[in-house]
Amino acid sequence: LINSPVFTRRTAEAEARQNVSAVLVGKNINFFLTTRDVRAGEELWFDYGPDYQHFEPGEALRPTQVKEELPSSEGE
């Protein structure tokens, strides 16, 4: 699924391009549905929302951005 910077600017073009919607079932089950007919080979566009953090290919997360602690190396 592609999240484009286009979606940070809510325009009619961005709304028209989006062709996927997320559905949450219960607490932890997500699935995606197309919102219109999609041609073979057409890219799937989804708006992850304004809080989505985009990283460029090869860009690493800084340690302060990692939410889970790494396992302790004690006992080695």
Confidence check: pLDDT of 37 > 80: yes
Residue range(s) defining the domain that contains residue 54: 5-65
Determine what percent of the chain is predicted with pLDDT higher than 90: 11
**42 falls within a domain:** yes
**73 falls within a domain:** no
**71 falls within a domain:** no
* Residue 22 · residue 15 · CB < 8 Å: no
Count of domains for the chain: 1
Mean pLDDT of the chain: 71
Write the pLDDT tens digit of every residue in 39-55: 999 988 887 766 666 66
**75 falls within a domain:** no
Most confident of 11-15, 35-39, 42-46, 67-71: 35-39
- Residues in a beta bridge with 25: 29
**20 falls within a domain:** yes
